[in-house]
């Protein structure tokens, strides 16, 4: 299968490393001609994961995203969610016809408050059967160092999901599969919000005891949102290796209808203590590699949102995600005191100390 990657940041670079390391030749979009020339000459990305060296004979580098899509069977989208529309809106409406799309983002489209699959369906008529998500506790820096990591591939096309997962499996990447396409994406959005909160707590000099309680409550809040949103098969501490029944629910938010479906995958029923849910939450809240934790840490230390963003080399998805989820939850009406408080700190100018006083009294 011919792969193409849209996005050349740290995660896009890590995915390019995995594929080319497995012998794949890829089409790879980079918005900078200077960066492309650098990669071809020096064999590594000048800005991200510079220790990763590429066999450039396996790279077809271009500044034209259409070239990547037209020449690829499967397109990996690894662009920060805030910039996806800007990149894709100039493309032909039928450009994704017959293509498989893998989302490698952990965010929602700001302003629309929708997941990538819904945007692609609306704007490019990409059916859900052709859409997959790759998620999990897998920092790009550790992929670059070839430290053992786990990636979960989600899609309702089970054979297609299995084929894609196999293409990314290496001796340092274990791949898992499920069909919980909405659940894994919402969990990825939420864990970034909670990681910002974890960073805030660290910046405010709360200790490990408080942090453990905060993250445990965040995990419970996340599972509660998913359950309220209609995601089924929520289990903790057990994995049953059989197919479970599917369920669906439509939730309207500002005139927008979200079909929420969930079925079990080949690895068993959806287990919210597993790597793609709780595992990703934990690593994003605790790891020094976490950009969302770093962003929150600056807010906790007194930086303004604007200054913290300027200090960040990479995008902290949790900032926009906090507003997207706050607005989406107006329809779903899940109890989310932690996420709501983080939203208020970031978007309503609530002092971070006051916001955490609110959080303190909600924790159990």
Supply the pLDDT for residue 241. 42
Supply the pLDDT for residue 274. 82
Supply the pLDDT for residue 310. 87
Full-model pTM: 0.89
CA dist 336 and 324 (Å) reads: 13
CA dist 2 and 19 (Å) reads: 10
Those residues with Cβ within 8 angstroms of residue 66's Cβ, 6 or more apart along the chain or in another chain: 91, 92, 95
In the chain, which residues have pLDDT < 70? Answer: 232-270, 273
Supply the pLDDT for residue 252. 40
Q: How far is CA 264 from the centre of its chain?
A: 20
CA dist 48 and 261 (Å) reads: 36
pLDDT tens profile 96-117: 999 999 999 988 999 899 999 9
Supply the pLDDT for residue 338. 98
Alpha helices (H) in the chain, listed in sequence order: 10-21, 33-42, 65-70, 84-88, 116-124, 140-144, 158-168, 181-203, 208-229, 280-286, 291-300, 305-311, 317-332, 337-347, 352-360
Those residues with Cβ within 8 angstroms of residue 16's Cβ, 6 or more apart along the chain or in another chain: 5, 8, 26, 28, 54, 59
Q: How far is CA 171 from the centre of its chain?
A: 23
Q: Is the distance from CB of 251 to CB of 332 less than 8 angstroms? A: yes
Supply the pLDDT for residue 275. 87
φ, ψ for residue 210, nearest 5 deg: -65, -45
Q: Is the distance from CB of 236 to CB of 271 less than 8 angstroms? A: yes
- Domains of the chain in start order, with CATH, are 3-178 (3.40.50.720), 183-360 (1.10.1040.10)
């Amino acid at each position: 299968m011919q792969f193409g990657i849209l996005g050349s940041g740290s995660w896009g670079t890590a995915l390019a490393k995995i594929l080319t390391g497995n012998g794949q030749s890829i089409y790879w979009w980079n918005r900078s001609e200077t960066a492309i020339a650098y990669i071809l000459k020096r064999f590594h990305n000048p800005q991200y994961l510079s220790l990763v060296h590429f066999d450039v004979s396996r790279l077809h580098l271009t500044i034209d995203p259409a070239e990547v899509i037209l020449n690829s069977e499967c397109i990996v989208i690894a662009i920060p969610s805030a910039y996806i529309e800007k990149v894709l809106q100039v493309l032909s409406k039928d450009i994704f016809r017959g293509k498989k799309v893998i989302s490698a983002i952990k965010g929602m489209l700001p302003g629309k408050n929708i997941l990538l699959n819904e945007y692609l369906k609306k704007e490019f008529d990409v059916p859900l059967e052709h859409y997959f998500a790759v998620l999990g506790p897998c920092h790009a820096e550790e992929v670059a160092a070839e430290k053992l990591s786990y990636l979960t591939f989600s899609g309702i096309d089970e054979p297609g999901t299995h084929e894609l997962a196999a293409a990314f499996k290496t001796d340092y990447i274990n791949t898992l599969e499920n069909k919980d396409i909405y659940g894994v994406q919402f969990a990825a959005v939420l864990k970034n919000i909670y990681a910002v909160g974890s960073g805030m707590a660290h910046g405010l000099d709360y200790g490990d005891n408080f942090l453990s309680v905060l993250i445990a409550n965040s995990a419970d809040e996340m599972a509660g949102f998913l359950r309220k949103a209609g995601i089924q098969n929520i289990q903790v501490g057990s994995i049953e290796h059989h197919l479970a029944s599917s369920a669906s629910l439509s939730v309207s938010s500002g005139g927008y209808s979200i079909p929420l479906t969930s079925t079990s995958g080949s690895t068993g029923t959806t287990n919210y203590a597993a790597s793609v849910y709780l595992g990703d939450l934990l690593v994003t809240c605790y790891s020094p590699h976490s950009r969302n934790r770093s962003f929150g840490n600056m807010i906790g230390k007194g930086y303004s949102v604007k200054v913290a963003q300027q200090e960040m080399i990479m995008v902290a998805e949790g900032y926009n995600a906090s507003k997207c989820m706050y607005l989406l939850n107006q329809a779903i009406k899940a109890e989310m005191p932690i996420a709501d408080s983080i939203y208020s700190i970031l978007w309503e100018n609530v002092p971070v100390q006051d916001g955490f006083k609110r959080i303190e009294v909600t924790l159990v």
